[in-house]
Every structure is written in structure tokens, then in C-alpha cells.
Amino acid sequence: MENKILLQKVIAKAQTWLDGNYNAETKAEVKRMLDAPDKTELIESFYKDLEFGTGGLRGIMGAGTNRMNIYTVGAATQGLSNYLKSQFPDLPQISVVIGHDCRNNSRLFSEISADIFSANGIKVYLFEDLRPTPEVSFAIRHFGCQSGIILTASHNPKEYNGYKAYWSDGAQMLAPHDVNVIKEVNKIKDVNEIKFRGNPALIEIIGEDVDKIYIDKLKTISLSPDAIKKHSDLKIVYTPIHGTGVKLVPQALRAFGFTNIINVPEQDVVSGDFPTVYSPNPEEPAALDMAIKRAIATDADLVMGTDPDSDRIGVAVKDDKNEWILLNGNQIAVIYIYYLIRRWKETGKIRGNEYIVKTIVTTEVIRDIALKNNIEYYDVYTGFKWIAKVMRENEDTKTYIGGGEESYGFLPETFVRDKDAVSSAALMAEVAAWAKNEGKSLYELLQDIYIEYGYGKEKGISIVRKGKSGAEEIQKIMSDFRSNPPKKIAGSKVKIVKDYQSLVQTNLLTGEKNPLDMPATSNVLQFFTEDGAKISIRPSGTEPKIKFYIEVRGNMNSRADYKQADQLAETKVKAVMKSLGI
């Protein structure tokens, strides 16, 4: 009965698209789904509205209320336009920046958005072609805009697209703007409320001039120019994985002083179909396979790849057997934080008010590096908007060194307010040159960091559950862990439980409860064991999956201890997984 009622509602909703002011192509697609004997696709496309969340939109492309298309994008842009006009009623000219990545329909969606903004009297700076997400953040600040958007689904599969919205500081929106924009978007109930007919006079095309200013600013974060000069011919294999880094990452590397950049021609082809990879996600080992093969063929020193919108970076290095291995996101962040703090100290930049930021699911090795060097650190929720919030709050009183998250995102500058794989790629190449100048490889540098600050091994597990039934299953998993937290994990007692939904920290050994000092609630659970393990669980905010983050700790006295420390940690990780039933 429940399924029959749902189907009736879906059919009625789809019929409004057949009867409404939608284009012929959209109506034909809706009719095809309505006429199909199997109504699964129809239900998935219409059973709910694609939610404009605190990060914007992200979903599968296609016709329907639960899909990315010109109408869902149009409603988002109209709602954002209405909100901007309400917030800046006395501003002579409200302005926004629009960028897009390589995905199918990204250019179309960006031009539709430009038309809608301009139809609402809002000035638009529209990038001429695909550009990295961090450059859009930079351009918002550069032009003094009130907002901006980029059409991207980051590292999601090719079926997806997305819409990320930013505020005037170049960061993704936080309270109250995020919630208020959502309200405005949700008010758009009729397609006829969307102003699709643009005003060309208010749309300005931007491109290489902004690129140059952005690259020139990136050069200012370099801390070891002498090491780069000495090792300018470092062999760097770089792949954009068909995405937006194709021009700007090589430009940034050359601006830093590197001359030997080796590309992967097949993956320099800009394509939303990502023809050479199953997933364009640098977190997936297969995404860098072609780059590593190129590195082997050219005897390269370093491999780097960026995701389609160039805000995440993947890195591969040679181990002690001269074999290529992938660094995980935690290891990448550890190297950055270690290098930045050390070089800031060595170059006399430390004044006593510096800080770094990490997310709560990112390795605790970063915390230990900060504390041992008397650098303040912040723990924030997953998502760079929270790192940007700390930056904004400390802008006039403290100095930002760097911030990152385990999901391969890092930001080593302040003139961008989102993770930046363009600057991060240039900085990682610099770290490699500096390490070489110190007589060590990046692999040996990482080992030395573990010797000094303790070994950490992390593993992320994502369980995919698609559709309505999947969302319900993910909700049940979280509910079960919340109502029945484990008393032991891998044989070690659970000491602390942090529930960020209730903002309560509970000591299971004493029963003591304390409030968690966070700016908002979030559907995240964390378990800390007596032997130093940390397990975090949260549903993804952008994909149909629930994520488990496992970290175990150990000690190393020398590089020779690395393999043993890693093996012990791997055994512990497997035991944790078994305890959690994953």
C-alpha cells in the first residue's frame, strides 16, 4: 500500500512537469519514464526534491525534481538571487562570480545561472571556460563580490553534477546565510518564478587576467626558493584526470620554478565522461595508475593528480625499494603541516599567534605536531567551510599557517577560502625539493615525522547505500550506534564517546558528561579507546554513503621500525573493523 501511494504521488508530480512550462526535451524524458513498465527510474527522479543543502546542490543529472537539470539549478539561482537582493538592498550593484568544471552540462548550467542572476539585476563575472574551484573562491574576494557559485560535483562519478554556493569571503556559506538561502530556494514552487531571460550587459567574461593574478599570489607562499632553484629539474608527473587543473597546475609549478613537468597526455583531455578512469577521485588508487606508469617510464621523482575541480590532490612517492606508493590524505596533510611549521620557524615568520586547523576525522598526528611546536590548533567539522570560519574569526588577531582534512584537501594560503589543489601541488613539489636538499626523499621525510611525533595509521571505509531505501539504512546504522555504543573496540575499552548531534561527550568509564564546544550540531559519532584508537562515523553530505574513519597509533624509534609499526597498526585496524562489523 505504501509503495502504491508513493507511486501515485510520483506520477502526479511528474505530470506537473508534462503540463508545465518546461522545454520539449525535458517533457520527452519525463514521458519516457512515465511510460516505462519499470517505474524505478521515475520514482528515483521524482520521489523528493533535490535538496539545496548547506553546501548547495549535488545529484545525478536528468529530468525530475530529484535530479540536476536547468530547472533545479534555475530554482537554486533564483532563490540565491532573491536572498542577495534582500541582504544588500542599498548596494548600487550586487555581483557574483560563476565558474564551472569539466563535467557534462557544467557550461550549460553556468550560462543558465548567469542569465538568471543578470535577469535579477545582479552583475556576473563568468569565467570563459572551466576553472578550478579555488580560483572561483579567489575571484570572489578579488572582485569584492557578494557571492559566487561553481558548477561541479567534485570527485563524484560522471553521472553527477553539483552547484556550490559561496559568500562574500570566498567561503561556502555558514549560518545564518546557508539556512536562509535554503529557505529562499524552497520558496520557488513554480518554474515560472525563475527569470531565465538574461541581461547580457550585466555579464562580464573573465579569464586569463584573473589566472595571472591568482598564480602571482600563489608564488608568495613559497618558503624554500633556494631549494627549488637547486632542484628545479625535479621530475614531476602531473595529471588533471580530465579536469580543471590541466592549465593552472602546470602554470603554478612553473611559477614556483619547476621546469621538468611530465604530463599524461590521455588524461589532459578535458572530458566529463572521464574516459580513462572508473572514478576521477584521487582518493581511489586506480585514479593515479596512468600517472604512475608514466613515472616509471620516465624515472620521475614525484607523482601528483588533482580531481575534476582541482580542490583535492593525490600524491605518489617512491619507497625504500624504489617502488611507487600512494600517500593517503592524512599523510599528505601531515607532511604539509610539518613542513609549514618547520619552515615558518626556520625563516623567522613565527610571532606567537599562529595556528593550524584540521577536521575532527583527520589524524591526531597533526595535533601532536602543533602542540609540540607550541602552535595553536583547531578541530572543526568535515568540510572546508568550517576551516574558513576559523580563518574569518581569527583574521585580525591570529595568523593562519595551514589547514587540511583527511579527504585530500589542503589550503596553505589565506587569499582563497576553500581547499586548493593548485597551490597544494606547487607546495608538495617544493617540499620534495626541500627534502631532497636535506638528503632525504618524501618517503623518508614522512618516516622521520612519525619517529618524532608518533606513528599513525588511518583507514577510511565507505559503505554505499543508494536511493530511498539506502538513505533509510544509513539512518538506521547511525541510530543503532548512537543508542547502543560499543563498550569495547578491538579488545580495548571505549573511553570517550563524542556525539556531535547532541553535542555531548560521555566518559563511559566514569559516566561523566560534558558539552562539546562546536558551532552547530552534526550527525557524527566518535569513539576513543584506551589504547589511542579513534573511530569516527558519519553519513556523507554529498554522496549516498556512510563513512567510517579509523585511526590507530604506535611508536617508531628509527626508520627501520616503519614496517613493523605499519604491520602492527594494520592488524589493529582489521580488528577494529571486525568489532564494528564492517
Question: Which are the catalytic amino acids?
Answer: 154
Taking a C-beta distance cutoff of 8 angstroms, is the pair 172, 383 a contact? Answer: yes
**Bridge partners of 463?**
546
Half-sphere exposure of 480 (CA within 13 A, CB side): 8
CA distance 582 to 463: 9
Nearest to 114 by CA among 23, 243, 206, 245: 206
Question: Can you tell me which residue has the cell 514521458?
Answer: 31
Q: Beta 123-127 vs 147-151: how paired, if at all?
A: unpaired
Question: Per DSSP, which regions of 271-318 are E strands?
Answer: 302-306, 313-318
Which are the contacts of 517, defined by CB distance < 8 A and separation ≥ 6? none
Which are the contacts of 266, defined by CB distance < 8 A and separation ≥ 6? 276, 290
Helices (H), 363-518: 365-372, 384-393, 421-437, 442-453, 467-483
Instruction: Please give the DSSP secondary-structure letter assigned to residue 191.
Output: G
Q: Beta 236-239 vs 302-306: how paired, if at all?
A: parallel
Nearest to 134 by CA among 231, 245, 212: 245
CA distances from 71 to 61, 308, 328 (A): 11, 24, 38
Roughly how many angstroms between the first and final C-alpha of the chain, as a whole number?
34
Taking a C-beta distance cutoff of 8 angstroms, is the pair 242, 248 a contact? Answer: no
Taking the CA atoms of residue 417, residue 422, residue 424 and residue 429 in that order, the dihedral angle to the nearest 10 degrees is -160
